[in-house]
Structure formats: C-alpha cells, structure tokens
Amino acid sequence: MNTDLTGKRALVCGSTQGIGRACAFELASMGASITLVARNEEKLKNVISQLPVDDTETHNYIVADFAEPEQLKSGLERFLKDFSVDILVNNTGGPKGGPAIEAGPDEFLQAFTSHLICNQILAQAISPGMKAAGWGRIINVISTSVKTPLKGLGVSNTIRGAVANWAKTLSFELGPFGITVNNVLPSAAMTGRLESLIRSRAEKEGKSEESVKEEMIREIPAGRIGTAEDVAAAIAFLASPAADYINGINIPVDGGKTPSL
C-alpha cells in the first residue's frame, strides 16, 4: 500500500494542538512538507521546531485567526506566491456547547464564518494548484454529529452538517480533476475541546470529571476514549496515494459509538 507523501505539501489548520498537531506530525512522518495554520505564532514556531524533517521536507506556517476571514485570505495570497498545496486539512475548534434554541444569531454566524466560510476560502485558493497537478486531497475534520446530532451541541451540530454537505458537493465538482474531498468524524477523542466539554458537563450535573469520563467510556464499544493520534491516522490514510478511489465519504473515528450506518 502506497502511503508515501514525499514531494507533497500539506496545509494543516488548527495545528498547534490536538488533532491538527497530531495530523501534522503524522503527515510529516510520511514524507510531506507541512504548512501549519493557527493564530498563535509562538505556538506555531514551537511545533515547527519539533516536526520530523529530512532532506526533502521544508516546513513553514501561516499566522491566521479563523474569526477574521480576510486575515486568512491575505495570508494565503502571500503564501501561494511561493508554494502550492497538495493536501488541505480543514480543522477548526468547535463552538461552545448549549441547546440550539438558546443560541443567539451571532453564535451561528461566528461558527459559520470560522468553519464553512474559512474552509471555502482555503479550497478556492488552493484547488487551482491541485487541478493543475491533477492530484489533490481536501480532508475536513468535522464530527459524528453529521450522522447523529449530539445532545447539548446545538450550534456545532448545525454548522458541522453544513460543512458535510459542502464537502459532498465539492467531491462531485473536484473529483474529475483528481482531487478527493472526504470528511473524518471524531467523537470522543481526548483533546482540549473534549476536556472542556467534560468539565462543563461535570459542573452542570454536579459530578466529578472522572465519573463523566467513565460514563462516556461505557457508551463506546471499543472501551476507551480515543486519542488525537487515532484521528490523525485516518486523515493520513485519506491523504495518501492509497486512497485515490475514496471520495465524498464520512469516516467516523469513534470506537463504534455512533448509532448509525
């Protein structure tokens, strides 16, 4: 199975922590040059200094806050004057929890901007180079909520569903150019996002964080909470030449938790 990414460049969003960081390391280990994207330059420099590198790899970064789409757009324009991108990993932290009915319009707009609008900016900027090369990968890190909405995550459920439909549409449009568009759907992966949700649930229900974790584990057939590396492995496979004929799909990485086909 060919998983060699030598000579490819991967742009990984949200890559200073959690799933994005794990993904950057996994893709670099497969030979890809990495472009990190996040808003904190010091953290970006720290991750760059730790990435594996050989004679064929050159790693760099773009500083961008996804709450400011114009900042992302200008950063991309400067970057693409010197580089092209073969693999795009869209990965952005989720909005705060809570029922959809209690969320203000601004919460939906903010989440829509940082997820779908920024994804669109990235895809529009990068896909011409992929078309010219006749090869490309767009991988979106979303959530299992696109299959079954998750309780207490009203805004997230709504926005993630929109991203999934956007991605499926792109898979039809870009597939003829050798570009695949797929979604990876994490559920319970132990990241800063999940830790925050556990704390919030524990406070709301008057339980310890450990008891909340134990309840979560009982709902997972695999018997454990996943890791960022579990999710990164799925992303890495979809990014590889081995996944050439996989396009337009959603892959849950959830230990079997999602109750749908």
| Predicted TM-score of the model (pTM) | 0.94
- pLDDT value of position 214: 86
pLDDT confidence of 199, banded at 50, 70, 90? confident
DSSP H/E element including 195: helix 192-205
Residue 80 lies in a domain: yes
Whether residues 157 and 231 fall in one domain: yes
Domain count, the chain: 2
Quote the domain boundaries for residue 217.
190-225
| DSSP letter for each residue of 85-146 | -SEEEE--PPPP-B-GGG--HHHHHHHHIIIIIHHHHHHHHHHHHHHHHT-EEEEEE--GGG
Residue 247 lies in a domain: yes
Instruction: Find the CATH number of the domain harbouring 77.
Output: 3.40.50.720
> Taking the CB of residue 207, how many other CB atoms lie within 10 A of it?
14
Q: Smallest Cα–Cα separation from 11: which of 46, 61, 53, 57?
A: 61
Residue 2 lies in a domain: no
pLDDT, tens digit, 9 for 90 and up, residues 219-238: 999 999 999 999 999 999 99
Whether residues 139 and 208 fall in one domain: no
How is residue 92 written in tokens? 């952005």
Whether residues 177 and 194 fall in one domain: no
- pLDDT value of position 207: 86
Whether residues 109 and 205 fall in one domain: no
Q: Look over the chain and give the mean of its residue pLDDT values, rounded to a whole number.
A: 95
pLDDT, tens digit, 9 for 90 and up, residues 40-89: 999 999 999 999 998 888 999 999 999 999 999 999 999 999 999 999 99
Q: Is the pLDDT of residue 203 over 90?
A: no
- pLDDT value of position 55: 87
> Taking the CB of residue 126, how many other CB atoms lie within 10 A of it?
23
Whether residues 122 and 14 fall in one domain: yes
Whether residues 199 and 134 fall in one domain: no
